[in-house]
C-alpha cells in the first residue's frame, strides 16, 4: 500500500500557516521524502513521521522553497545519531551547497550521503517495494518530477490448497511469483488453482513546479495519483505562464488527458488565503481532484 502525506503545500513564501513544498511517500516500512522546504523537519515531527525510515530524498529543483529545509534535516539526523546511508537524488549543485555548509560548521555527519545527480530521464531508484523514475518538467530552472511505482505484489498462497496438494514449502516462493506446480507424477497444477492475485501495483507521479506542458501527459499516463502544481487560479493563466507555473484548470487538464485516477493540487500562491476556489475550478475539468492539504495522508 502506498500513501502520500503533505508536509507543505505553499509556494515561495510561507503564509497563512502554510509551509513550502514537502511531501512524504510511504510504503509499509519505508518513507521517501519529496522536496524539503524550510520547516520540513518541524513538519515531520508535527505529523509524527519517523525520520529513521527515510533513506531516499528527492529534490526536484534548487528554488529555495523546495530545499531550504534539507540542510537542517540532514544535520538533525546526524545529531540524533543516524548511521544509516542516505540517498539524495537532486540537481548536482546541491552537493556543493551541502558540503560547503557542513564545512562552515566544521561538521562531519555520522552517516554517509550518496549524492545521485539528476541528469536524464531514467530509473533513479530500485528499492525493495518500489521503483522511482525521474521525468523532466518545464520550469524556469532545471526541474524534475518523480514517478513512484509499486513493484508487482506477490500472489497470495491458498493455505488449504497447498496442503491438499502436498506442495513442499520450498516451492512457495515460485508459486507467489506465478509459477505452476508439477507433482511427482508429472501432473501440472495451475497457479490460479493455488494462489490468488494480490492488489494491483499502484503508482504516484509528482510533477513538481511546471508550466502547463502537454509533453508531461505521456510520462504520467494512467497513474493512480497525480500531484500537479496549481499555483494560481485560472484567471491568472498569463502570469502563471510568465513564471513557469500552472493554474487549477491546467493541472486538471493534464490529469484528464493523462487518464490519471486521481489528482491532488498544491503549491498555492501566498496571495490566496482561502483555497476553496482552487478545488471548485479544478473539479470542473477533472472531478476526482483534491487539494493537497498539510497533514493529510492520501492513500493511493
Residues that bind a copy of itself (CB under 8 A): 12-15, 19-20, 38-39, 41-42, 45, 62-64, 68-69, 71-72, 75-76, 79-80, 91, 93-94, 96-97, 100-101, 103-106, 140-141
85 noted as active-site residue? no
Output the smallest distance, CB 273 to a copy of itself, in A. 13
Q: Distance between CA 194 and CA 17 in Å, rounded?
A: 53
Contact 62, 91 (CB under 8 A): yes
Output the smallest distance, CB 246 to a copy of itself, in A. 19
Q: Distance between CA 222 and CA 259 in Å, rounded?
A: 5
Output the smallest distance, CB 95 to a copy of itself, in A. 11
Contact 25, 264 (CB under 8 A): no
Kindly name the residue from 29, 35, 65, 224 that is annotated as catalytic.
65
| CB nearer a copy of itself, residue 1 or residue 100 | 100
Output the smallest distance, CB 36 to a copy of itself, in A. 11
Closest CA to 93 of 72, 67, 121: 67
Handedness of CA 123, 84, 206, 66 (dihedral sign): negative
| CB nearer a copy of itself, residue 45 or residue 297 | 45
Retrieve residue 70's grid coordinates.
Answer: 534539507
Closest CA to 133 of 202, 204, 55, 199: 204
| CB nearer a copy of itself, residue 14 or residue 201 | 14
**Taking CA 15 as the corner, what is the angle to CA 43 and CA 9, rounded to the nearest 5 degrees?**
50
Count of Cβ atoms closer than 10 Å to residue 86 Cβ: 20
Residues belonging to the active site = 65
Amino acid at each position: 500500500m502506498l500513501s502520500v502525506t503533505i508536509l507543505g503545500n505553499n509556494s515561495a513564501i510561507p503564509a497563512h500557516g502554510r509551509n513550502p513544498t514537502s511531501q512524504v511517500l510511504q510504503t509499509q516500512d519505508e518513507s521517501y521524502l519529496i522536496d524539503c522546504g524550510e520547516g520540513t523537519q518541524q513538519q515531520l515531527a508535527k505529523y509524527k513521521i519517523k525520520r529513521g525510515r527515510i533513506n531516499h530524498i528527492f529534490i526536484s529543483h534548487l528554488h529555495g522553497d523546495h530545499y531550504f529545509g534539507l540542510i537542517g534535516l540532514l544535520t538533525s539526523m546526524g545529531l540524533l545519531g543516524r548511521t544509516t546511508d542516505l540517498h539524495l537524488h537532486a540537481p548536482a549543485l546541491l552537493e556543493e551547497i551541502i558540503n560547503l555548509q557542513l564545512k562552515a560548521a566544521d561538521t562531519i555527519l555520522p552517516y554517509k550521503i550518496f549524492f545521485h545527480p539528476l541528469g536524464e530521464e531514467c530509473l533513479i531508484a530500485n528499492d525493495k517495494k518500489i521503483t522511482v523514475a525521474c521525468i523532466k518538467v518545464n520550469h524556469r530552472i532545471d526541474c524534475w518530477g518523480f514517478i513512484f511505482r509499486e513493484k508487482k505484489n506477490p500472489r497470495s498462497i491458498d493455505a488449504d490448497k497447498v496442503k491438499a496438494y502436498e506442495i513442499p514449502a520450498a516451492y512457495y516462493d515460485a508459486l507467489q511469483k506465478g509459477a505452476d506446480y508439477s507433482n511427482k507424477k508429472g501432473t501440472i497444477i495451475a497457479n490460479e488453482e493455488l494462489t490468488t492475485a494480490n492488489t494491483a501495483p499502484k503508482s504516484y507521479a509528482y510533477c513538481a513546479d511546471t508550466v502547463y506542458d502537454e509533453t508531461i501527459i505521456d510520462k504520467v499516463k494512467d497513474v493512480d495519483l497525480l500531484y500537479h502544481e496549481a499555483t494560481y487560479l485560472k484567471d491568472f493563466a498569463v502570469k502563471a505562464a510568465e513564471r513557469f507555473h500552472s493554474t487549477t484548470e491546467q493541472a486538471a487538464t493534464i490529469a484528464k488527458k493523462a487518464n490519471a485516477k486521481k489528482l491532488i493540487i498544491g503549491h498555492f500562491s501566498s496571495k490566496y488565503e482561502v483555497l476553496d476556489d482552487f478545488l471548485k475550478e479544478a473539479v470542473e475539468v477533472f472531478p476526482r481532484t483534491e487539494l493537497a492539504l498539510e497533514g493529510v495522508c492520501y492513500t493511493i
